[in-house]
Chain A
Amino acid sequence: EPEVTQTPSHQVTQMGQEVILRCVPISNHLYFYWYRQILGQKVEFLVSFYNNEISEKSEIFDDQFSVERPDGSNFTLKIRSTKLEDSAMYFCASSEWGRVGYEQYFGPGTRLTVT
Protein backbone atom coordinates (compact mmCIF):
# COMPACT_ATOMS: atom_id res chain seq x y z
CA GLU A 1 0.00 0.00 0.00
CA PRO A 2 1.44 3.41 -0.93
CA GLU A 3 2.49 5.58 1.99
CA VAL A 4 3.89 8.98 2.83
CA THR A 5 7.50 8.87 3.99
CA GLN A 6 9.43 11.46 5.96
CA THR A 7 13.11 11.98 6.69
CA PRO A 8 14.79 12.26 9.05
CA SER A 9 12.78 10.59 11.80
CA HIS A 10 14.54 12.73 14.40
CA GLN A 11 16.45 15.98 13.92
CA VAL A 12 18.33 17.75 16.67
CA THR A 13 19.48 21.29 15.94
CA GLN A 14 20.72 24.34 17.77
CA MET A 15 18.64 27.47 18.11
CA GLY A 16 19.17 29.78 15.16
CA GLN A 17 20.12 27.03 12.73
CA GLU A 18 18.24 26.21 9.54
CA VAL A 19 16.53 22.85 9.15
CA ILE A 20 14.91 21.17 6.20
CA LEU A 21 12.36 18.44 6.79
CA ARG A 22 11.71 16.15 3.86
CA CYS A 23 8.64 14.29 2.73
CA VAL A 24 7.80 12.01 -0.16
CA PRO A 25 4.02 12.12 -0.65
CA ILE A 26 2.02 9.32 -2.27
CA SER A 27 2.92 9.39 -5.96
CA ASN A 28 -0.43 10.26 -7.56
CA HIS A 29 -1.40 12.81 -4.91
CA LEU A 30 -1.48 16.48 -5.81
CA TYR A 31 -2.29 18.22 -2.52
CA PHE A 32 0.34 18.45 0.18
CA TYR A 33 0.25 19.62 3.76
CA TRP A 34 2.41 20.16 6.81
CA TYR A 35 1.11 19.90 10.36
CA ARG A 36 2.89 19.93 13.67
CA GLN A 37 2.18 18.61 17.15
CA ILE A 38 3.92 20.10 20.14
CA LEU A 39 4.25 17.54 22.92
CA GLY A 40 0.96 17.17 24.77
CA GLN A 41 -0.92 19.48 22.44
CA LYS A 42 -3.21 19.06 19.45
CA VAL A 43 -2.14 18.54 15.86
CA GLU A 44 -1.98 21.99 14.22
CA PHE A 45 -2.23 22.91 10.55
CA LEU A 46 0.75 24.78 9.14
CA VAL A 47 0.32 24.99 5.38
CA SER A 48 -1.36 23.47 2.34
CA PHE A 49 0.24 23.38 -1.09
CA TYR A 50 -1.13 22.72 -4.57
CA ASN A 51 0.13 23.35 -8.06
CA ASN A 52 3.40 24.77 -6.73
CA GLU A 53 1.65 27.37 -4.65
CA ILE A 54 0.60 27.76 -1.04
CA SER A 55 -3.19 27.43 -0.83
CA GLU A 56 -3.48 28.39 2.80
CA LYS A 57 -1.13 28.95 5.70
CA SER A 58 -1.73 29.35 9.40
CA GLU A 59 -0.52 32.21 11.57
CA ILE A 60 2.18 29.85 12.86
CA PHE A 61 3.64 29.72 9.33
CA ASP A 62 5.52 33.03 9.47
CA ASP A 63 8.46 34.28 7.41
CA GLN A 64 10.76 31.75 9.06
CA PHE A 65 8.92 28.92 7.33
CA SER A 66 8.88 27.99 3.67
CA VAL A 67 7.78 25.01 1.60
CA GLU A 68 8.99 23.73 -1.71
CA ARG A 69 8.42 20.92 -4.15
CA PRO A 70 11.90 20.83 -5.67
CA ASP A 71 11.18 17.90 -7.97
CA GLY A 72 8.35 15.56 -8.84
CA SER A 73 8.53 13.54 -5.67
CA ASN A 74 9.78 15.54 -2.69
CA PHE A 75 8.00 18.13 -0.58
CA THR A 76 10.08 20.04 1.94
CA LEU A 77 9.52 22.30 4.93
CA LYS A 78 12.32 24.72 5.77
CA ILE A 79 12.68 26.60 9.01
CA ARG A 80 15.21 29.35 8.48
CA SER A 81 16.24 30.15 12.04
CA THR A 82 14.90 27.67 14.55
CA LYS A 83 13.59 28.68 17.95
CA LEU A 84 13.14 26.57 21.06
CA GLU A 85 9.37 26.68 20.56
CA ASP A 86 9.72 25.02 17.13
CA SER A 87 10.44 21.74 18.92
CA ALA A 88 7.59 19.45 17.87
CA MET A 89 6.59 16.48 15.71
CA TYR A 90 6.15 17.63 12.13
CA PHE A 91 3.80 15.61 9.95
CA CYS A 92 3.56 15.74 6.20
CA ALA A 93 0.30 14.66 4.55
CA SER A 94 -1.06 14.34 1.04
CA SER A 95 -4.38 13.82 -0.69
CA GLU A 96 -5.58 12.87 -4.15
CA TRP A 97 -6.65 15.18 -6.94
CA GLY A 98 -10.28 16.07 -6.44
CA ARG A 99 -10.10 15.00 -2.80
CA VAL A 100 -8.84 18.23 -1.23
CA GLY A 101 -10.42 18.51 2.20
CA TYR A 102 -11.24 14.84 2.26
CA GLU A 103 -9.06 12.14 3.78
CA GLN A 104 -5.40 13.04 4.03
CA TYR A 105 -2.67 10.46 4.38
CA PHE A 106 -0.03 11.27 6.96
CA GLY A 107 3.61 10.31 7.19
CA PRO A 108 5.20 8.98 10.39
CA GLY A 109 6.53 12.40 11.33
CA THR A 110 9.88 14.04 12.04
CA ARG A 111 10.66 14.85 15.64
CA LEU A 112 12.46 18.20 15.71
CA THR A 113 14.35 19.06 18.87
CA VAL A 114 15.78 22.57 19.12
CA THR A 115 18.37 23.04 21.86
Chain B
Amino acid sequence: DQQVKQNSPSLSVQEGRISILNCDYTNSMFDYFLWYKKYPAEGPTFLISISSIKDKNEDGRFTVFLNKSAKHLSLHIVPSQPGDSAVYFCAATYLSSNTGKLIFGQGTTLQVKP
Protein backbone atom coordinates (compact mmCIF):
# COMPACT_ATOMS: atom_id res chain seq x y z
CA ASP B 1 0.00 0.00 0.00
CA GLN B 2 1.95 2.98 -1.30
CA GLN B 3 -0.84 5.51 -1.58
CA VAL B 4 1.28 8.22 0.03
CA LYS B 5 4.97 8.41 -0.79
CA GLN B 6 7.82 10.50 0.43
CA ASN B 7 10.65 9.61 -1.90
CA SER B 8 13.43 11.42 -0.05
CA PRO B 9 14.38 9.60 3.15
CA SER B 10 16.55 12.50 4.29
CA LEU B 11 17.29 16.17 3.69
CA SER B 12 20.04 18.37 5.06
CA VAL B 13 19.94 22.19 4.93
CA GLN B 14 21.80 25.08 6.49
CA GLU B 15 20.19 27.15 9.20
CA GLY B 16 18.36 30.13 7.74
CA ARG B 17 17.82 28.52 4.33
CA ILE B 18 14.62 27.03 2.96
CA SER B 19 13.70 23.38 3.56
CA ILE B 20 11.40 21.78 0.99
CA LEU B 21 9.89 18.42 1.79
CA ASN B 22 7.93 16.59 -0.87
CA CYS B 23 5.07 14.12 -0.89
CA ASP B 24 3.20 12.34 -3.67
CA TYR B 25 -0.09 10.50 -3.52
CA THR B 26 -1.87 8.17 -5.87
CA ASN B 27 -5.48 8.20 -4.70
CA SER B 28 -7.49 11.08 -6.12
CA MET B 29 -10.18 10.52 -3.48
CA PHE B 30 -7.97 12.06 -0.80
CA ASP B 31 -9.38 15.47 0.10
CA TYR B 32 -7.34 16.55 3.11
CA PHE B 33 -3.62 16.46 3.68
CA LEU B 34 -1.56 16.96 6.82
CA TRP B 35 2.06 17.28 7.83
CA TYR B 36 3.32 15.91 11.11
CA LYS B 37 6.69 16.33 12.78
CA LYS B 38 8.18 13.65 14.97
CA TYR B 39 11.08 13.81 17.39
CA PRO B 40 12.70 10.60 18.69
CA ALA B 41 10.78 8.97 21.56
CA GLU B 42 7.76 11.20 20.97
CA GLY B 43 4.52 10.85 19.06
CA PRO B 44 3.85 12.71 15.81
CA THR B 45 2.93 16.36 16.33
CA PHE B 46 0.50 18.08 13.97
CA LEU B 47 2.15 20.87 11.99
CA ILE B 48 -0.07 22.14 9.19
CA SER B 49 -2.80 20.91 6.87
CA ILE B 50 -4.50 21.73 3.60
CA SER B 51 -7.85 20.96 2.06
CA SER B 52 -8.01 19.76 -1.53
CA ILE B 53 -10.01 22.88 -2.43
CA LYS B 54 -6.96 25.04 -1.71
CA ASP B 55 -3.53 25.15 -3.27
CA LYS B 56 -1.66 26.86 -0.45
CA ASN B 57 -1.84 27.19 3.32
CA GLU B 58 0.56 29.22 5.40
CA ASP B 59 1.26 29.25 9.13
CA GLY B 60 4.24 31.28 10.23
CA ARG B 61 7.42 29.73 8.85
CA PHE B 62 5.51 26.76 7.39
CA THR B 63 3.71 26.72 4.06
CA VAL B 64 2.11 23.74 2.39
CA PHE B 65 1.47 23.71 -1.34
CA LEU B 66 -0.89 21.33 -3.08
CA ASN B 67 -0.82 20.51 -6.78
CA LYS B 68 -3.85 18.32 -7.36
CA SER B 69 -3.23 17.66 -11.02
CA ALA B 70 0.23 16.30 -10.17
CA LYS B 71 -0.99 14.66 -6.96
CA HIS B 72 1.87 16.34 -5.18
CA LEU B 73 2.27 18.40 -2.06
CA SER B 74 5.23 20.07 -0.49
CA LEU B 75 6.09 21.62 2.84
CA HIS B 76 8.30 24.72 2.86
CA ILE B 77 10.04 25.83 6.03
CA VAL B 78 11.52 29.31 5.87
CA PRO B 79 13.85 30.09 7.54
CA SER B 80 14.94 26.68 8.75
CA GLN B 81 16.13 26.42 12.35
CA PRO B 82 18.15 23.70 14.11
CA GLY B 83 15.08 22.91 16.25
CA ASP B 84 13.27 21.90 13.06
CA SER B 85 15.50 18.82 12.82
CA ALA B 86 13.06 15.91 13.03
CA VAL B 87 11.23 13.34 10.92
CA TYR B 88 8.43 14.87 8.84
CA PHE B 89 5.46 12.77 7.80
CA CYS B 90 2.96 13.60 5.13
CA ALA B 91 -0.52 12.11 5.67
CA ALA B 92 -3.74 12.01 3.67
CA THR B 93 -7.34 11.24 4.45
CA TYR B 94 -10.87 11.22 3.01
CA LEU B 95 -13.06 13.54 5.05
CA SER B 96 -16.11 11.99 3.44
CA SER B 97 -15.36 8.64 5.11
CA ASN B 98 -16.00 10.24 8.49
CA THR B 99 -13.66 7.75 10.18
CA GLY B 100 -10.52 9.85 10.49
CA LYS B 101 -8.18 7.24 9.05
CA LEU B 102 -4.84 8.85 8.20
CA ILE B 103 -2.56 7.27 5.61
CA PHE B 104 1.06 8.21 6.19
CA GLY B 105 4.10 8.43 3.99
CA GLN B 106 7.39 6.88 5.05
CA GLY B 107 8.78 10.11 6.43
CA THR B 108 11.70 12.40 5.60
CA THR B 109 14.40 13.08 8.16
CA LEU B 110 15.31 16.76 8.10
CA GLN B 111 18.62 17.91 9.52
CA VAL B 112 19.16 21.64 9.88
CA LYS B 113 22.82 22.46 10.40
CA PRO B 114 23.80 25.52 12.46
Q: Which residues of A contact B (CB under 8 A)?
A: 4, 31, 33, 35, 41-45, 48, 55-56, 58, 91, 93, 95, 100-109
Q: Which of B16-24, B65-73, B74-82, B103-111 forms part of the interface with chain A?
A: B103-111
* Contacting residue for B100 out of A41, A44, A104, A107, CB 8 A: A104
Residues of A within 8 A of B95 (CB): 100-102
Number of interface residues of B (CB under 8 A): 26
B102 within 8 A of A: yes
Contact pattern, B 87-114, Cβ under 8 Å of A = 1, otherwise 0: 0010101110111111111110000000
27 CB-based A-B contacts, threshold 8 Å: A4-B43, A31-B100, A42-B105, A42-B106, A43-B89, A43-B102, A43-B104, A43-B107, A48-B101, A55-B98, A55-B100, A56-B100, A58-B101, A91-B43, A100-B95, A100-B99, A100-B100, A101-B95, A101-B97, A101-B100, A102-B49, A102-B95, A104-B46, A104-B102, A106-B36, A106-B44, A108-B43
* Minimum-distance CB pairs A-B, first 10: A106-B43, A56-B99, A55-B99, A103-B46, A43-B104, A101-B95, A100-B100, A42-B106, A48-B99, A106-B44
Contact pattern, B 24-61, Cβ under 8 Å of A = 1, otherwise 0: 00000000101010000111111001000000000000
Q: A43-B89, A55-B98, A108-B43 are in contact. Are A103 and B104 (CB under 8 A)?
A: no
Q: A102-B32, A103-B49 are in contact. Are A48 and B43 (CB under 8 A)?
A: no
Residues of A within 8 A of B45 (CB): 106
Q: Which residues of B contact A (CB under 8 A)?
A: 32, 34, 36, 41-46, 49, 89, 91, 93-95, 97-107
In the assembled complex, the Cα of A33 lies from the Cα of B102 at a distance in Å of 10
In the assembled complex, the Cα of A42 lies from the Cα of B87 at a distance in Å of 11
In the assembled complex, the Cα of A4 lies from the Cα of B66 at a distance in Å of 30
In the assembled complex, the Cα of A109 lies from the Cα of B40 at a distance in Å of 11
B96 CB to closest chain A CB (Å) equals 8
